[in-house]
């Protein structure tokens, strides 16, 4: 009984133990099963993800096998974009091979396929032919993958029509610009380190070069007149975007040419450079010179009347003295002094007139600007006082010297003061003020005349712009030219019905 009982208990324990074991096994199996399920789910998902990726990337993907002779069978798999782009269905494409879609001849394509096989990845450009015959430029990147001892090729194809189109546009634009530059009637040239490195036809012609070689490589300073070299350096150093300069050159034919140049900083062949746009103003300059000449004659003509008047006054008084002496009056010191000063005046006036009428002496020399102003005022004094205009001066005690052409500067102030007189028909005061700053002198001519409108102000200095019945509209043009020639500048302030102030600034010699 004991044994039996023992046997039974043992049996029972064993069974219970086995049940526990089974339970554990079961749990294990259960958990394994869920892992497997998860893995399969995961695999499923990743397959889906892969398919999504495969079909939704923007590049066409072809999966194929190429044999050693460079011949390929039909595509094994293609993604959606691959068959859509070429206008086929998936089924149609799976019955086709690279030979059906590449535009190369069979033999050429075999060579390409051979190179694909001989390297891990290859990138090249080709064209694909659509079902309807249109061609699409593509860039292909191939990858060779080994699976189960066999090599397969994955070929990723990017549509580069847009890139090609952009490249074409750039090429065309470049050509257009080239044509534009080449056919421009303005000279266009490029300088690097002050040497010519590019010149269009017009520039070559302008500089008298028959071939590019005659000009390219030469220094700009070989041709630019010495007095413009400094100006050119300043222009290109501080010129900013669009600085202008009038300059004179001796061209390769030995001809003198006048140009207006605009300098623009650019990058040329990867280095900083200056692009010059050069306009030939030789003819314009000649015409201007003619106008200046004409204007000179005109002012001389106008002055002549005033001068005749100026001379007649002292002459009349001299005649009076002669008559006095004839009638027996004995000349005394007082009479003789008056006669002498009248003769002096005639002398001054006629020599002034002669300086003006003489062709300009273009050599610069030191000019005492206040002395010059006094002379001009003396010359115009009578005309002013006839109109009940007084000329007030505010001069400096020190002597101010500018480097200039005496007769030209004289002309500037004659023009400005005459203009001031002409706008004050009811008389008044014209003020001439001399002020100096560090390196320049400012000479202001202030009138209380009719003033100017904005439109008039804008057009000042334009040839033939005049508001006067008998005006020439050349005076200010000449004035601006002369001031420019002296490296000076002129400012104008004007208020309608209140008056105008012209201020001439000239560099001084220190």
Ligand X SMILES: Nc1ncnc2c1ncn2[C@@H]1O[C@H](COP(=O)(O)OP(=O)(O)O)[C@@H](O)[C@H]1O
Which residues form the interface with Mg ion (CB under 5 A)? 419, 475
Look-up of token digits 């208990």: 9
Told to check if 490 binds ligand X by CB under 6 A, we report no
DSSP line for 177-223: HHHHHHH-SSEEEEEETTEEEEE-HHHHHHTT-SSHHHHTT-BGGGT
Q: CB-hemisphere CA count at 13 Å for 191?
A: 22
Binding ligand X (rule: CB under 6 A), the pick from 310, 370, 472, 505 is: 472
Least gap, CB of 421 to ligand X (angstroms): 9
Least gap, CB of 279 to ligand X (angstroms): 25
**Which is nearest to 407 in space by CA: 461, 352, 448?**
352
Binding mask 441-470 for ligand X (x = CB under 6 A): ------x-xxxx---x---x----xxxx--
Under 8 Å between Cβ of 78 and 92: no
Binding mask 364-403 for ligand X (x = CB under 6 A): ----------------------------------------
**Which is nearest to 403 in space by CA: 481, 487, 477?**
487
Binding ligand X (rule: CB under 6 A), the pick from 140, 261, 420, 504 is: 420
Number of residues near ligand X (by CB under 6 A) = 22
Q: Is 137 or 475 the residue whose CB approaches Mg ion more closely?
A: 475
Residue 467 interaction partner, one of ligand X, Mg ion, none, beta carbon < 5-8 Å per kind: ligand X
Told to check if 302 binds ligand X by CB under 6 A, we report no
Residue 420 interaction partner, one of Mg ion, ligand X, none, beta carbon < 5-8 Å per kind: ligand X
Q: Is 259 or 419 the residue whose CB approaches Mg ion more closely?
A: 419
**Which is nearest to 78 in space by CA: 66, 90, 96?**
90
Contacts with 423 (C-beta within 8 Å, 6 or more apart), sequence order: 447, 449, 450, 451, 500
Q: Is 128 or 505 the residue whose CB approaches ligand X more closely?
A: 505
Residue 460 interaction partner, one of Mg ion, ligand X, none, beta carbon < 5-8 Å per kind: ligand X
Q: Is 66 or 452 the residue whose CB approaches ligand X more closely?
A: 452
3-state DSSP assignment of residue 249: strand
Cβ-closest residue to Mg ion?
475
How far, in Å, CA of 262 to CA of 198, rounded? 16
How far, in Å, CA of 159 to CA of 125, rounded? 10
For ligand X, the binding residues in 421-440 under the rule CB under 6 A are 423
Look-up of token digits 């105008």: 500
Q: Is 263 or 419 the residue whose CB approaches Mg ion more closely?
A: 419
Q: Is 114 or 288 the residue whose CB approaches ligand X more closely?
A: 288
Binding ligand X (rule: CB under 6 A), the pick from 191, 405, 500, 504 is: 500
Least gap, CB of 359 to Mg ion (angstroms): 21
For ligand X, the binding residues in 258-277 under the rule CB under 6 A are none
Contacts with 179 (C-beta within 8 Å, 6 or more apart), sequence order: none
- Alpha-carbon dihedral sign for residues 39, 41, 47, 49: negative
Report CA-CA distances (Å) from 383 to 302, 392, 419: 11, 15, 12
Q: Is 288 or 422 the residue whose CB approaches Mg ion more closely?
A: 422
Report CA-CA distances (Å) from 201 to 51, 184, 271: 62, 8, 23
Q: Is 423 or 490 the residue whose CB approaches ligand X more closely?
A: 423
Told to check if 476 binds ligand X by CB under 6 A, we report yes
Least gap, CB of 215 to ligand X (angstroms): 40
How far, in Å, CA of 230 to CA of 232, rounded? 5
Report CA-CA distances (Å) from 417 to 314, 367, 379, 402, 446: 24, 19, 11, 20, 9
3-state DSSP assignment of residue 490: strand
Q: Is 93 or 420 the residue whose CB approaches ligand X more closely?
A: 420
Residue 452 interaction partner, one of Mg ion, ligand X, none, beta carbon < 5-8 Å per kind: ligand X
Where along the sequence are the contacts to ligand X (CB under 6 A)? 415, 419-420, 423, 447, 449-452, 456, 460, 465-468, 471-476, 500
């Amino acid at each position: 009984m004991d044994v039996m009982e023992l046997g039974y208990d043992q049996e029972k324990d064993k069974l219970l133990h086995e049940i526990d074991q089974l339970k554990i096994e079961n749990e294990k199996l259960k958990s394994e099963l869920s892992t497997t399920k998860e893995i399969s789910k995961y695999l499923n998902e990743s397959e889906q993800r892969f398919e999504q990726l495969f079909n939704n990337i923007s590049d066409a993907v072809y999966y194929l096998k190429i044999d050693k002779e460079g011949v390929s069978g039909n595509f094994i798999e293609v993604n959606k974009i691959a068959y859509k782009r070429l206008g086929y269905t998936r089924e149609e494409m799976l019955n086709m091979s690279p030979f059906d879609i590449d535009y190369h001849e069979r033999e050429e394509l075999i060579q390409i396929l051979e190179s694909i096989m001989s390297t891990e990845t290859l990138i090249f450009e080709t064209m694909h032919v659509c079902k309807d015959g249109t061609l699409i430029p593509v860039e292909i990147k191939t990858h060779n993958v080994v699976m189960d001892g066999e090599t397969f090729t994955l070929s990723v194809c990017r549509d580069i029509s847009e890139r090609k189109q952009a490249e074409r546009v750039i090429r065309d634009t470049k050509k257009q610009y080239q044509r534009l530059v080449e056919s421009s009637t303005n000279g266009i040239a490029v300088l690097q380190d002050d040497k010519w490195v590019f010149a269009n036809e017009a520039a070559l012609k302008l500089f008298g070069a028959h071939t590019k070689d005659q000009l390219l490589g030469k220094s700009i300073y070989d041709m630019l007149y010495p007095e413009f070299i400094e100006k050119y350096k300043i222009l290109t150093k501080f010129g900013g975007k669009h600085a202008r300069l009038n300059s004179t050159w001796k061209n390769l034919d030995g001809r003198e040419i006048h140009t207006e140049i605009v300098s623009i900083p650019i990058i040329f062949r990867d280095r900083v450079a200056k692009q010059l746009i050069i306009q030939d103003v030789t003819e314009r300059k000649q015409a201007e010179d003619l106008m200046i000449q004409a204007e000179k004659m005109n002012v001389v003509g106008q002055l002549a009347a005033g001068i005749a008047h100026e001379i007649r006054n002292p002459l009349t008084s001299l005649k009076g003295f002669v008559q006095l002496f004839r009638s027996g009056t004995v000349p005394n010191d007082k009479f003789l002094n008056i006669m002498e000063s009248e003769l002096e005046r005639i002398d001054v006036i006629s020599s002034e007139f002669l300086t003006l009428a003489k062709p300009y002496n273009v050599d610069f020399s030191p000019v005492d600007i206040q002395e010059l102003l006094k002379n001009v005022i003396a010359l115009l004094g009578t005309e002013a006082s006839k109109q009940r205009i007084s000329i007030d001066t505010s001069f400096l005690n020190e002597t101010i010297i500018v480097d200039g052409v005496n007769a030209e500067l004289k002309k500037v102030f004659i023009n400005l003061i005459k203009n001031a007189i002409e706008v004050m028909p009811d008389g008044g005061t014209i003020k001439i003020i001399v002020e100096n700053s560090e390196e320049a002198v400012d000479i202001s001519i202030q009138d209380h005349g009719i003033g100017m409108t904005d439109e008039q102000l804008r057009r000042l200095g334009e040839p033939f712009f005049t508001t006067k019945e008998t005006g020439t509209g050349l005076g200010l043009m000449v004035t601006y030219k002369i001031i420019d020639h002296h490296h000076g500048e002129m400012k104008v302030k004007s208020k309608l019905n209140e008056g105008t102030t012209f201020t001439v600034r000239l560099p001084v010699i220190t």
